[in-house]
Structure 1
């Protein structure tokens, strides 16, 4: 009898350990991975917008409302990326800690989407493509985890320092790679304007078919202008993205007579068996793919 009771208790331990984890909801896969890196075994992270999915056009479902209402920490990118976030938090009556991972970074302004009235520039939300700005993400997420789970402070700070060091190592490596390419050759075209921070960090001139949001549709006139610019500037690096429609880029590539250099990961990780299943893998993959076209 005692042995049977002990066996039941032992079987129950993993469930108890799981229940003790801090329930966290992340708005999309990239900040979800950063939160796992810092939180380790103390957190149970669910990303609302998963791998190969688009946070720009995401529409929360009832299941997402339920997930958020049961969580204690909500990690977002901010900077205007999640236009649906206010509706979701209101519907879920979320009472936990909300972290805006991009809060406090030096933002980049991008041209307004084609067809918008007034034509004011907008904040570019894709700051995770600059590893130096990711250091701010790390600090903000760490502070949020500590606020939601003060007992884990030492572990969160230790893991954050380790993650920050690995991000810096990738940044140093990338800077060295791009520095070896003449500035005049550092030009590339992508599906939408997601790599502005990346270009700013490494001195790369960026062209894009769409604006900072994938919701905007490029016009025939806009594509024609890009074709002309690609030819004039002799842009050789043209890239698809993992979560955008590839047909328009294929059309532009054909008209401009430039080959497509590969697939980049812009707004989402790949699935677990893909080349960009974590933030650091995403960054490394993108750098290597771009460098192949620059050489």
Structure 2
């Protein structure tokens, strides 16, 4: 959900989480397994797996990095657990994406005495263009490797504050990683230019790709703007069907953290191919297709190009 509702149920859920966390912190901590090695290194907690991977590259061996959410989790409407609060309370720093991505995060961080950093600070946002969220910034800024360079700079500054002696290492790690980010960006742009101009339209379940499509110079369309609804509305599906038909879009896609049923309906109604699964809000497990952020961009690039050129799956 874009925002946790201010109704009684939401308040009760959060009250229960906070009370349980207080009990856990005060009573059970001594019995709980250690979440981080007791080696004196700083601990950084991120809100989701993509940020954890990027942060781990910048941090190197000097900082322990963990994600609150696990691979495959849907980040927008995540409901933190008492265990999440217990582990995060031990951190030296919490990192969030910002741009209203983590709807649960404000309440979460207010319950903890831990500093936090918004790594999207400095990114020029692209506003959502339609539906109830029109005019709000699209939060998926990391889908542009160029934006992730800004994330990296923000991480270097934040990590230096909690580990001043590590500054040179953080800066070196960042410089090396930026070269890789530039490479995957260049490959993304070059690869999508091989798609015939009339077929350069990315149609997905969630509107999570405006930064990627801006970089690549292709059109974007989606069923819903943000993972807020429990299911796609008939109006949203119908509008997407009309767009795919009117523009003769050859393939459509859906993200890994949501059901692809609405998009399969679009494909069936229009004759477009279902081009495959894209990753945005979460990495896969270590043995899956996108264990790192760089793998995520490479996978999505290959899947989009293959789908639009007729090599994807139905």
Match of 1:69 in 2: 89
Match of 1:141 in 2: 155
Select the residue among 29, 36, 40 that pairs with 1:20: 40
Match of 1:5 in 2: none
The 1:211/1:120 distance shift into structure 2, 3 A limit, reads closer
Q: Deviations over 1:222-279 (max 9, x none)?
A: 2112111101101112112110012111122111221211111011111111110100
**CA RMSD after TM alignment:** 1.6
Length-normalised TM-score, structure 2: 0.83
Q: Distance in 2 between matches of 1:174 and 1:120?
A: 27
Per the alignment, in what secondary structure is the counterpart of residue 122 of structure 2? coil
Select the residue among 120, 123, 128 that pairs with 1:110: 128
Select the residue among 282, 285, 291 that pairs with 2:299: 285
Per the alignment, in what secondary structure is the counterpart of residue 49 of structure 1? coil
Select the residue among 143, 162, 166 that pairs with 2:176: 162
Select the residue among 269, 278, 302 that pairs with 1:264: 278
The number of residues matched between the two structures is 274
Q: Distance in 2 between matches of 1:182 and 1:257?
A: 19
Give the Å deviation of 1:147.
Answer: 1.0
Q: Distance in 1 between matches of 2:78 and 2:229?
A: 10
Q: Distance in 2 between matches of 1:48 and 1:196?
A: 26
Q: Deviations over 1:166-202 (max 9, x none)?
A: 1001111221112233332201211110011111110
Select the residue among 207, 215, 221 that pairs with 1:201: 215
Larger Rg: 1
The 1:120/1:207 distance shift into structure 2, 3 A limit, reads closer
Select the residue among 251, 265, 279 that pairs with 1:237: 251
Please state if 1:42 is matched with 2:56.
Answer: no
Q: Deviations over 1:135-189 (max 9, x none)?
A: 1111011111111111111111110111111100111122111223333220121
Please state if 1:88 is matched with 2:88.
Answer: no
The 1:99/1:235 distance shift into structure 2, 3 A limit, reads same
Does the 8 Å contact 1:183/1:203 carry over to 2? no
Match of 1:125 in 2: 139
Q: Distance in 1 between matches of 2:40 and 2:175?
A: 24
Match of 1:56 in 2: 76
Q: Distance in 2 between matches of 1:86 and 1:19?
A: 30
Q: Distance in 2 between matches of 1:18 and 1:278?
A: 26
- Unaligned 5+ residue runs, structure 1? 1-15
Q: Deviations over 1:53-101 (max 9, x none)?
A: 111010111111111111001111011101111111122232x3x2111
Q: Distance in 1 between matches of 2:43 and 2:229?
A: 31
Select the residue among 94, 118, 130 that pairs with 1:100: 118
Q: Distance in 2 between matches of 1:52 and 1:17?
A: 25
Give the Å deviation of 1:216.
Answer: 6.2
Q: Distance in 1 between matches of 2:188 and 2:194?
A: 10
Per the alignment, in what secondary structure is the counterpart of residue 47 of structure 2? strand
